[in-house]
Amino acid sequence: MLSSPARLSDAGRHEQFRRVFLRHGALGYGIADNVGLTEADRLEAVPLVFGLIPEVVFRDPDPQRLVKTPIREHLKRVGAPLDDQFVSIVKKLVDHYCSSSEYALRDPRWPRMRKLQIRDLRARIPQYRKQLDGQGGRCAVCGVELDDISGEQLDHCIPWRLVGDPPDGSNWQVLCDLCNRGKHDWFSSVLSRHSWNWLYGTPVVEIATTIAPGTRYVVLSQRGECENEGCRAAPADSHLLLSKVLGTGLPVADNLTVACAMHAGDKEASAVSPTRP
């Protein structure tokens, strides 16, 4: 978990990095395997995102510069794979990050990129229906039925500045407003301070009386199903809610459990803060 140069040369992390980015369309389309990705899987890839990029490509970004050569040279020094697919993934990250940067705003040679919103997905009716049908018409994280009350937000599974909007939707999920606020731009929810029960800086009254949206998202995204014995209802099946394990404890991630609407009585443990992430 702690920083170390060895993480950048870890073969297992290299393959996890490849899996995550192929799954979410880094090459323009999603390539999925039969094994789902967990938040821990995503965390394995995080140190490599910027660790595999040579500094020269960010020093003075130029859309006409050939960047594969310095990328390949840096990967060789790190001990990372040098096959075309792996190099292309890293190049895609560089291209997207630079194209959405302050350089792109100043230099007309860079392609203009616009982050798609839920209204853009709604305009693509067949794709919108396919996305919602794949989620059972529910939020992909908490399973609440998506309507005008819960709201709809188009979330980019991998932050948009890294892979953008692949046309096949492989980097999309539709979330309710509350889950979208809780997620922020984390690559993995394990990165969030809420994943470590760290509420330092939160007003005392809020700590004691509310489940922060960030904490709520962390628990739901990492557990992913009803924790009542023999149930295992997932977001596509039911609304998932939280309750405290120990009534004497604070609503931190480790003191919360997940239950489907049937087992929770359709009631959250405590009010969710409407403002604090």
Q: List pLDDT tens digits, range 122-161.
A: 999 999 999 999 999 999 999 999 988 889 999 999 999 9
CA distance 205 to 139: 29
3-state secondary structure of 6: helix
Average pLDDT over residues 237-250: 94
In angstroms, rounded to a whole number, what is the distance separating the alpha carbons of residues 85 and 73? 15
Q: In degrees, to the nearest 5, what angle opens at C-alpha 199 toward C-alphas 270 and 141?
A: 55
**How far from the centroid of its chain's Cα atoms is residue 261's Cα?**
25
From 74-78, 127-131, 251-255, 270-274, the region with the lowest mean pLDDT? 270-274
Query: Which has the closest alpha carbon to 139: 242, 219, 239?
Result: 239
Domains by residue range for the chain, with CATH: 5-106 (no CATH), 118-183 (3.40.1800), 189-264 (no CATH)
Express each pLDDT in 13-72 by its tens digit: 999 999 999 999 999 999 988 888 999 999 999 999 999 999 999 887 777 778 999 999
Taking the C-alpha atoms of residue 120 and residue 170, their distance in angstroms, rounded to an integer, is 15
Kindly report the CA angle at 135 between 130 and 233, in degrees rounded to 5? 155
Pick from 129, 125, 117, 181: which is nearest to 154 by CA?
Answer: 117
Longest dimension (CA), the chain: 60
Enumerate the H helices of 107-183 as residue ranges.
Answer: 118-123, 125-134, 160-163, 177-183
pLDDT(201) > 50: yes
- pLDDT confidence tier of residue 277, bands split at 50, 70 and 90: very low
The mean pLDDT of the chain is 91
Model pTM score: 0.90
Q: Measure the N-to-C terminal CA separation of the chain; round to a whole number of Å.
A: 24
